[in-house]
Amino acid sequence: MIPPPRLPPGFRILRLLLPVAALAGFLVVVLAAGLLVVGQFVTGGDEAAEEGTTCEAGTGGVGGELSADAPKTSAELDPVQRQTAATIIGVAKGMAIPPRGWVVALATAMQESQMGTVGMDVAVDHDSLGVFQQRPSQGWGSPEEVRDPVYATRTFFERLLTVPDWETMPVTRAAQVVQRSAFPDAYAKWESLANSLVTDLAGVAGAIQECVPAAEAGPGPAAALPPGVARTAIEFATAETGKPYVWGATGPGSYDCSGLMLRAYQRAGIVLPRVSRDQYHAGAHVPVEQAQPGDLLFWAYEESDPDTIHHVAMYLGNGQMMEAQQSGVPLGIRAVRWDEDELVALATRPGTGSERA
């Protein structure tokens, strides 16, 4: 019997490696198929996976648009939702939170729990519970505490107040910094509803809207400022007593006259123009003798010409006003007389009135 021809040594090694190569190829195919399947369920790659792990509070849904049956005004909420909203506003008032904060909290509660109607007692996302879907495992409180709407609201505001410049952030951004949601833009769609709730349940309208442009505002109906708005602006302004006047400064260490008014009303939720001449047009006008606490008083080189306005102050009531007067004079309160030189005859009530006379 003639033995089969022997392969050269190199070919013998190649024959031994063929099964190993076939197995490796099979494993590559299986792994690739697995990655494709996973990709169907995890969109956004590493960024999406990482973003999802940062969520400390649950989410009541995703997306930036409202569904057709979603409530768009306070009248469309059910009794439980309206009671929850009233509780949030009540806690906010008790903590002296500016109305802008009410809007942030209401939009957050609507997104997280549909205003107290989803996930209140049984977690639907990790261990998230209550109005704001706060997680006990992340330090928000015990399960019993976060289920309590009053406790949950107070805790939400306490964390919101630690966020630098939250008053000037978009609502969805301020909410996201507190909640750290996997869907940071989802709060924005509830801002209109939140504004409606603040208006209907608390009677605060001008406090949650930017003032109209100077070309459209002016001496329209001079509705009274809601007490909470005027109080918030006054408390902010007077708390800056003793700080230095610096021309062009808007805080926090120093202010000029219009910079102080800008920040005071910003704290109350009303956005004023930057300079005094434009602030004069940022609301309805009333005779200075009828000024109410929170109204703005103006001084002009020509008292009858608003284009010559050079100074603004905040009326506090009882013949007193708060101002950032001039260089060398610290911010403070002083008496005001209605016959002062250069005092403009009309005061401005920020955020009210929308029609020029």
Question: Active-site residue numbers?
Answer: 257, 311, 323
Residue 225: CA atoms inside 13 Å, Cβ hemisphere, count? 31
Contact residues for 17 (Cβ-Cβ < 8 A; gap 6+): none
- Picking from 188, 190, 156, the residue whose alpha carbon sits closest to that of residue 81 is 190
Q: Distance of CA 159 to CAs 115, 166, 318, Å?
A: 19, 11, 36
User: Residues 69, 121, 158, 178: what is their CA dihedral angle, to the nearest 10 degrees?
Assistant: -50
Give the span between the Cα atoms of 33 and 31, in whole angstroms. Answer: 5
Name residue 129's beta-bridge partners.
134
| Cα–Cα distance, 222 to 16 (Å, whole number) | 95
Residues 6 or more apart whose CB falls under 8 angstroms from that of 201 comprise 74, 82, 85, 86, 89
